[in-house]
Structure 1
Amino acid sequence: MSGYLAAPPPERGIFCNRTLNMRAIKAIGYDMDYTLVHYQVEAWERRAYEHIRERLVEQGWPVGHLSFDPVLAIRGLIIDTEKGNLLKANRFGFVKKALHGTRPMDFEAQRTEYTRTIVDLAEKRWMFLNTLFSLSEACIYAQLVDLLDAGELPGPMGYVDLYAVVRRTLDAAHMAGKLKAEIIANPERYLLPDPETALALLDQRSAGKKLLLITNSEWAYTLPIMHAAFDPYLPKGMTWRQLFDVVIVSARKPEFFTTRSPLFEVVETQSEALLRPHAGGPLKAGMPYFGGSALELERHLGMSGDEILYVGDHMFGDVHVTKNVLRWRTALILRELEDEVRAIASFRSTEARLAEKMVLKERLEAESCHVRLELQRRRLQYGPRSEVPEDQLLARGIALRAELEALDAELGPMARAASELSNPHWGLLTRAGNDKSHLARQVERYADIYTSRVSNFLFVTPFVYLRSPRGSLPHDPNVPGGTPVFPSTDATSGSNP
Structure 2
Amino acid sequence: MSICLRLLAHPPKRQAIQWSIGKRCSSSSPPDPSAYAVRESAPQRVLSSPGYKEQPLWSAQKVLNIYAKSKKAIEGKKDFEQRFRNPRGIFANNELELSEINVYGFDYDYTLAAYSSDLHNVIYDLAVKNLINVYKYPAGIAEMPYNPAFAVRGLHFDIGKSLLMKIDSYHNVQLGSVYRGMSPVSKEDVREIYGGTHIPLEMLNDFWGRSVGSRMVHLIDMFSPPQTLLLANTVEYFIRHQIPFDSEYIYWDINGAIQLVHNTGQVHSVIMKNESRFLLQDSGLREFLSRINASGKKLFLITNSGYAFVNSGLTYLVGKDWRDLFDVVVCQARKPKFFYQTTRPFRLMSESTGTHSWDRVSQFSRGKVYLEGNLNSFMKLTGWHGSQVLYFGDHVYSDLADAGLKHGWRTGAIIPELEREIHIQSSAEFVRDLTWLSTLQFLIDKLQLTPDSVEKATILEEWMNEKRSIRLRLKGLFNPHFGSLFRTHHNPTYLSRRLSRFADVYTSALSNLLPFSLNHTFYPKRNALPHEWQVRPELHGLGH
Q: TM-score range by the shorter chain?
A: 0.7 to 0.9
Contact 2:347 2:361 in 1 (8 A): no
Deviations 1:58-87 (A, max 9, x none): 225231212322122222111111111111
Contact 2:364 2:382 in 1 (8 A): no
Do structure 1's residue 345 and structure 2's residue 395 form an aligned pair? no
Q: Partner of 1:490 in structure 2?
A: none
Cα offset for 1:401? 4.7
Do structure 1's residue 40 and structure 2's residue 116 form an aligned pair? yes
Q: What amino acid is the match of 1:121?
A: N
Change (3 A) 1:331 1:101: same
Q: Partner of 1:109 in structure 2?
A: 189
Do structure 1's residue 241 and structure 2's residue 323 form an aligned pair? yes
Do structure 1's residue 160 and structure 2's residue 248 form an aligned pair? yes
Cα offset for 1:279? 4.3
Cα offset for 1:51? 0.8
Q: Separation in 1 of the partners of 2:137 and 2:463?
A: 55
Deviations 1:89-124 (A, max 9, x none): 111111113112221122111222231533531242
Counterpart among 90, 98, 113 of residue 22 in structure 1? 98
Contact 1:68 1:136 in 2 (8 A): no
Q: What amino acid is the match of 1:135?
A: P
Q: What amino acid is the match of 2:120?
A: E
Counterpart among 124, 141, 147 of residue 231 in structure 2? 141
Q: Separation in 1 of the partners of 2:500 and 2:297?
A: 26
Q: Partner of 2:219 in structure 1?
A: 129
Cα offset for 1:412? 4.8
Q: What amino acid is the match of 2:225?
A: L
Cα offset for 1:409? 6.1
Contact 1:87 1:98 in 2 (8 A): yes
Q: Partner of 1:420 in structure 2?
A: 476
Larger deviation, residues 182-191 vs 273-282: 273-282
TM-score (norm. length: structure 2): 0.76
Q: Separation in 2 of the partners of 1:205 and 1:199?
A: 10
Q: What amino acid is the match of 2:406?
A: V
Q: Which has the larger radius of gyration?
A: 2
Q: Separation in 1 of the partners of 2:263 and 2:335?
A: 16
Contact 2:304 2:334 in 1 (8 A): yes
Q: Separation in 1 of the partners of 2:479 and 2:359?
A: 48
Q: Separation in 2 of the partners of 1:332 and 1:291?
A: 23
Cα offset for 1:479? 4.2
Counterpart among 470, 474, 478 of residue 530 in structure 2? 474
Deviations 1:444-490 (A, max 9, x none): 11111111111111122221122223353211123459xxxxxxxxx
Do structure 1's residue 221 and structure 2's residue 305 form an aligned pair? no
Unaligned runs of at least 5 residues, structure 2: 1-83, 207-212, 538-544
Q: What amino acid is the match of 1:110?
A: V
Report SS of the residue matched to 2:449.
helix
Q: How does 1:354-373 map to 2 (within 5 A)?
A: 354-367=437-450, 370-372=451-453
Q: Separation in 2 of the partners of 1:55 and 1:152?
A: 23
Counterpart among 324, 333, 339 of residue 251 in structure 1? 333
- After superposition, the CA RMSD in angstroms is 2.1
Report SS of the residue matched to 2:356.
strand
Counterpart among 452, 462, 471 of residue 508 in structure 2? 452
Q: Partner of 1:289 in structure 2?
A: 370
Q: How does 1:51-200 map to 2 (within 5 A)?
A: 51-58=126-133, 59-61=136-138, 62-96=140-174, 97-114=177-194, 115=196, 116-119=198-201, 120-122=204-206, 123-150=213-240, 153=243, 157-200=245-288
Larger deviation, residues 351-360 vs 403-412: 403-412
Q: Separation in 2 of the partners of 1:441 and 1:468?
A: 15
Deviations 1:131-165 (A, max 9, x none): 11011111101111123334555x6x411111010
TM-score (norm. length: structure 1): 0.83
Contact 1:332 1:451 in 2 (8 A): yes
* Identical-pair percentage: 28
Q: Partner of 2:411 in structure 1?
A: 330
Q: What amino acid is the match of 1:109?
A: D
Q: Separation in 2 of the partners of 1:265 and 1:297?
A: 13
Q: Separation in 2 of the partners of 1:175 and 1:411?
A: 47
Contact 1:34 1:313 in 2 (8 A): yes
Q: What amino acid is the match of 1:196?
A: G
Q: What amino acid is the match of 1:221?
A: F
Q: Partner of 2:392 in structure 1?
A: 311
Q: Partner of 1:280 in structure 2?
A: 361
Q: Separation in 2 of the partners of 1:152 and 1:287?
A: 56
Contact 2:95 2:524 in 1 (8 A): yes
